[in-house]
A and B are shown apart, each in its own frame.
Chain A
């Protein structure tokens, strides 16, 4: 079974600073990988996804993530954080052997706080 680890429960960065949120996964092969963002009391919005091909994927709102097979990681990055980026971020893994990316396993989330 797949699993996802987000080692950082809470991160605080200053507006304009760079950001990296860590995500490590456990899966027997290359999984489908996702990053979602959740604002308080809201559902999840997909930031970006990795299925295959280029290991550096670009998403919405200026986010990017890099799939590193050797490290079983899919870290999320943003070069300059805006105050509106404050939210909860979830990394998720979908098993390829199901044929779809539907059944996802989520990490525990990282809460991002942005100081002005």
Chain B
């Protein structure tokens, strides 16, 4: 089956620094990837849609300058949390759209960000 990998799985950083999270589709090419944010004991909230070779599409209320998304290749999308603050602490999950059928989603393992 399709495999999506995220790195790092967890990261701790100081307030004001930037953190980059990678999302890779390991055995298929993903023209579209999605970034979700999950608060403790809550559901997943879609942050943005990442399309290879073009700008990401952000959901309403998501700061595009705070959460920079780059999808430079068919197997890699990155989310950079810039000037991180404690309120950015969360679980970030990426997913990649499969190429077959109707393009169902395959999810990464998630990345837990803690900002001190």
Tell me, yes or no, whether B104 is within 8 Å of chain A by CB: yes
Tell me, yes or no, whether A14 is within 8 Å of chain B by CB: no
Given A45-B107, A90-B43, decide whether A100 and B6 contact each other with a Cβ distance below 8 A: no
Name the interface size band of chain B. Answer: 20 to 34
> B103–A100 contact, CB under 8 A?
yes
Tell me, yes or no, whether B93 is within 8 Å of chain A by CB: yes
> A43–B110 contact, CB under 8 A?
yes
* Chain A residues, Cβ within 8 Å of B95: 44
State which residues 88-116 of B face A: CB under 8 Å: 91, 93, 95, 97, 101-110, 112
Tell me, yes or no, whether B44 is within 8 Å of chain A by CB: yes
Which residue on B lies nearest to A49, using beta carbons?
A: B104
* Chain B residues, Cβ within 8 Å of A104: 46, 105
A-B contacts counted at CB < 8 A amount to 59
What does DSSP make chain B's interface, helix, strand, loop or mixed? strand
Tell me, yes or no, whether A51 is within 8 Å of chain B by CB: yes
Minimum distance in angstroms from B47 CB to a CB of chain A? 12
Which residue on B lies nearest to A9, using beta carbons?
A: B41
From B44, B91, B103, name the one whose CB has the most chain A CB atoms within 10 angstroms. Answer: B44
Report the Cα distance A44→B110, complex, angstroms. Answer: 8
Tell me, yes or no, whether A69 is within 8 Å of chain B by CB: no
Tell me, yes or no, whether B32 is within 8 Å of chain A by CB: yes
* Chain B residues, Cβ within 8 Å of A100: 97, 102-103
Given A102-B34, A102-B103, A102-B105, decide whether A44 and B42 contact each other with a Cβ distance below 8 A: no
State which residues 35-49 of B face A: CB under 8 Å: 41-44, 46, 49
State which residues 90-112 of A face B: CB under 8 Å: 90, 99-104, 106-109, 111
> A108–B42 contact, CB under 8 A?
yes
> A109–B43 contact, CB under 8 A?
yes
9 contacts between A and B (CB under 8 A): A32-B104, A34-B104, A43-B107, A43-B109, A46-B104, A99-B102, A100-B97, A101-B105, A102-B32
Q: A43-B108, A102-B103, A102-B105 are in contact. List 10 more A-B contacts (CB 8 A).
A: A34-B104, A43-B93, A43-B109, A44-B93, A46-B106, A103-B46, A104-B46, A104-B105, A107-B43, A109-B43
